[in-house]
Amino acid sequence: MPELQRLRLDHAPALLAFEQENRAYFAASIPDRGDDYFTEFDARHSDLLAEQAAGLHFFHVLVGSGGDVLGRVNLIDVADDAAELGYRIAEKAAGQGLATSAVRQVCVLAAAEYGLTSLRAVTTLDNAASRAVLARTGFVPAGEIVLCGRPGMSYVRELR
């Protein structure tokens, strides 16, 4: 079973490979990161680690038995004991329950390790898989939104 790990410097090569291999797959349902993300990856990775060390965000990778990254689960914009959840799973690992398992694990970490009391998430209405993960992990709809020009929904989960 893949292991959820807090993002580290040595994850960089596997994380870059994950993002490159799944770029088109992710872009079908969420905005593309753009070419600069890939050309400036090392500097961005270092910046993210510094922001994580400052407590602004908590980044996680789902690592397979061979050391490959199968997914990401992040808590961003930490403020007032809350954060926004974001996640993505590799195309080759989709449909195996990994997102649900990883989100559950991050919810436990959010409360126990990071001292958070609530999480927010957003997704488009046409992303049924993401909506299902949020429902299975205790998130409840909080309101309709427009996300990148598409109808979406915001969600919340209390961690108490």
pLDDT in tens, 109-155: 999 999 999 999 999 999 999 999 999 999 999 999 998 888 999 99
Fold of 3-158: Aminopeptidase (3.40.630)
* Strand partners of residue 82: 79, 118
Full-model pTM: 0.94
Helices (H), the chain: 12-21, 23-27, 35-39, 41-53, 98-112, 128-136
pLDDT in tens, 60-105: 999 999 999 999 999 999 999 999 999 999 999 999 999 999 999 9
Query: CA 48, CA 61: separation in Å to the nearest integer?
Result: 13
Tell me the domain boundaries of the chain.
3-158
Distances (CA, A) of 72 to 11, 69, 142: 11, 8, 24
User: 48-67: b or e for each residue (b if 16 or more CB lie within 10 Å)?
Assistant: bbeebeeeebbbbbbbbeee
Contacts of 23 (CB under 8 A, 6+ apart): 32, 33
